[in-house]
Structure 1
């Protein structure tokens, strides 16, 4: 995982947007070529234009969600701050669309974010190497990454780096991460992942349970090794959502087969023994309840982490299409995470 500065300049955020647009353009070209083909084989004109407009609507929605995926890596102190930055980059994206479609016929295409209809979440992160305690909450060793106070959150992305030489050599003392949800039948289900230094190699232990979770479920779950003696460098990069350790064959399950907490719309994610390892993390969550229910500091404030920044969880794009044959405005709603993107 690449660390993100606590307060990046606007130039850095614009660069992220520019890189995102560059990748999105590749997808636009495919849609554009498909539209040209449909137009050439369709002799009715109007039907062809409507088909092209629908393709633009769908691709426009996906493009705005793809742009949000990258823009979420920046730091934003409010939903409006994020939406304003998004629309600045969406304007550049619209210019690319118009240039491409103008090659076939006079066409105006504009995409923008519907700020009020989109859904927001929070990125919880630690941008520099430190231990995994909740420093702004009193250096808590064990703490909830997801909102506290009875609120839960879905996890769209979870990047973790571990400094190998700071990991404990015994599972009983090792830093571990737990996810508590449900089994889909009204019972609770949970899984816990331990990271252990095995003579400068990595061992990953996994434990799980179901039924009624005990109060100390993240510490009372029996662990067994899933990955043994994995060769790693001094810095270990872990994708918790995909359950993988970069550059190795180690794979594991985290929340894949766990449903949401019964009666809720997300999970409880918990760091345990956070003082026994060092590294960085970025967790992208569907809930913004941290505003009133959790410790920590917002981006732009002083203090120790964890830090919090707004993200777009689900985007609603406004797609405007205007050609000699068809003209209308449509909206398209797409998830930023949990998709094939």
Structure 2
């Protein structure tokens, strides 16, 4: 009879070890699933700034191009603005989900200062639109 009692105890220990192993497997699956959900939630958020992205971009372009118009005494301001547009597109593409392109630059020199007309293209996953902006050298914050 002693052998029967020993056999019964070992079955209970095997069941207990199996239950603990099953609990660790379920815990591992829950942790992995939670990590996947957290990663998906974080990656679906926007990468752009808190305010309206178009409004922020308009203000940045207006001030930057205004300072180029006010600060450069060179006759080729159009080339400087186009170069700025390329740099701005590369920088904004790394920090936002919007592609911004500055093109069709026309600079008009008047007696009171320089004016520029630029075509700005906003391209996102959902929408694409063009906007023509008239920018003056007075739009530079340093001139205010």
TM (norm. structure 1) is 0.25
Matched residue, 1:38: 50
Counterparts of 1:176-191 in structure 2 under 5 Å? none
Aligned to 2:109: 120
Q: Of residues 77, 80, 84 in structure 2, which corresponds to 1:93?
A: 84
Measured after TM superposition, the shift of residue 114 of structure 1 is 4.1
Q: Which has the higher helix share?
A: 2
Structure with max Cα Rg: 2
Change (3 A) 1:321 1:69: same
Instruction: Confirm or deny: 8 A CA contact 2:122 2:129 kept in the other structure.
Output: yes
In the other structure, the counterpart of 2:115 is 314
Which of 98, 101, 116 aligns to 1:107? It is: 98
- Answer yes or no: is the 8 Å Cα contact 1:114–1:316 preserved in 2: yes
**Whole-angstrom distance in 2 between the partners of 1:337 and 1:54:** 19
Q: Deviations over 1:69-92 (max 9, x none)?
A: 122x12x4xxxxxxxx22322222
Structure 1 consecutive aligned stretches of length 4 or more whose deviation exceeds 3 Å: 104-107, 337-340
The count of corresponding residues between Structure 1 and Structure 2 is: 96
Partner of 1:55: 56
Partner of 1:332: 133
Where do 1:62-77 residues align within 5 Å?
62-71=63-72, 73-74=73-74, 76=75
Contact 1:113 1:315 in 2 (8 A): no
C-alpha distance in structure 1 between counterparts of 2:125 and 2:139, whole Å: 38
Query: Structure 1 residues 338, 322: closer, same or farther in 2, change over 3 A?
Result: closer
What residue number does 2:31 align with?
Answer: none
The answer to whether the Cα contact below 8 Å between 1:57 and 1:331 also exists between their aligned partners in 2 is no
Residue 103 of structure 1: SS of its match in structure 2? helix
Query: Structure 1 stretches of 5 or more lacking a match?
Result: 1-34, 40-50, 77-84, 122-284, 287-311
1:337 aligned counterpart, secondary structure: helix
- Write the distance in 2 (CA, Å) between the matches of 1:338 and 1:91: 18
CA contact (8 A) 2:66 2:140 kept: no
Q: Which residue of 2 aligns with 1:79?
A: none
Give, in angstroms, the shift of residue 327 of structure 1: 1.6
More strand by share: 1
Q: 1:103 to 1:336 in 2, by over 3 A?
A: same
Consecutive unaligned residues of structure 2, counting only runs of 5 or more, are 1-46
Aligned position for 2:25: none
- Quote the residue 2:6 is aligned against: none
Q: 2:63, 2:140 within 8 Å by CA — same for their partners in 1?
A: no
When the two chains are superposed, the root-mean-square deviation of aligned CA atoms in Å is 2.8
- Offset at 1:106? 4.5
Which structure is richer in relative contact order (CA contacts within 8 A, separation 6 or more)? 1
Alpha-carbon distance in structure 2 between the residues aligned to 1:101 and 1:111: 12
